[in-house]
């Protein structure tokens, strides 16, 4: 829940009941947002928090040698997870990147076949079309 009220956050995390999965945030200026905007902000922060926690768990399990012990996510795990989660492309962008990357690769391969027959009109036109599509796909693929 996003709040802009005084008296929160508590002085320590132990002031909140241990049996709850609730983490309260104080965001200055959030009280001035319309109700729908506040709800969307809360949803986005919840989704982002879930992504960070999942990534922190993955990072922690990578370094844990004792599989029988209780997982211990450290502040470093959370900081690293936040960096990874914020730098990672969205699933939609990732799908777009992969599709355009595959298109550029296929056009390079097919262009090479046409390039082998560059002296014929079909080979020259096919090579030019593949080169054009491949360059457009490669430059528009996005990603890092």
> Average pLDDT for consecutive 10-residue bins of the chain (144 residues)?
44 46 78 87 84 83 70 81 74 73 91 90 93 89 58
Q: Which helix (H) or strand (E) segment is 125 a member of?
A: helix 121-139
Q: What residues make up the domain containing 23?
A: 2-88
pLDDT computed for residue 93 by the predictor = 57
CA torsion 74→76→79→85, rounded to 10°?
-80
In a domain, 48, yes or no: yes
Domains identified in the chain, total number:
2
pLDDT computed for residue 41 by the predictor = 84
Same-domain check for residues 100 and 122: yes
pTM: 0.46
Same-domain check for residues 64 and 128: no
pLDDT computed for residue 66 by the predictor = 67
pLDDT computed for residue 65 by the predictor = 67
């Amino acid at each position: 829940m996003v709040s802009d009220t005084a008296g929160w956050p508590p002085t320590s995390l132990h002031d909140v009941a241990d049996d709850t999965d609730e983490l309260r945030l104080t965001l200055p200026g959030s009280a001035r947002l319309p109700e729908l905007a506040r709800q969307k902000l809360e949803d986005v922060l919840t989704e982002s928090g879930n992504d960070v926690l999942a990534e922190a768990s993955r990072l922690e399990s990578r370094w844990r040698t004792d599989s029988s012990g209780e997982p211990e996510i450290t502040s470093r795990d959370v900081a690293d997870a936040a960096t990874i989660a914020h730098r990672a492309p969205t699933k939609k962008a990732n799908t777009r990147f992969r599709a355009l990357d595959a298109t550029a690769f296929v056009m390079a391969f097919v262009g090479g076949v046409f390039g082998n027959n560059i002296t014929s009109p079909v080979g020259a036109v096919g090579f030019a079309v593949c080169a054009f599509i491949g360059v457009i796909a490669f430059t528009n693929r996005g990603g890092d």
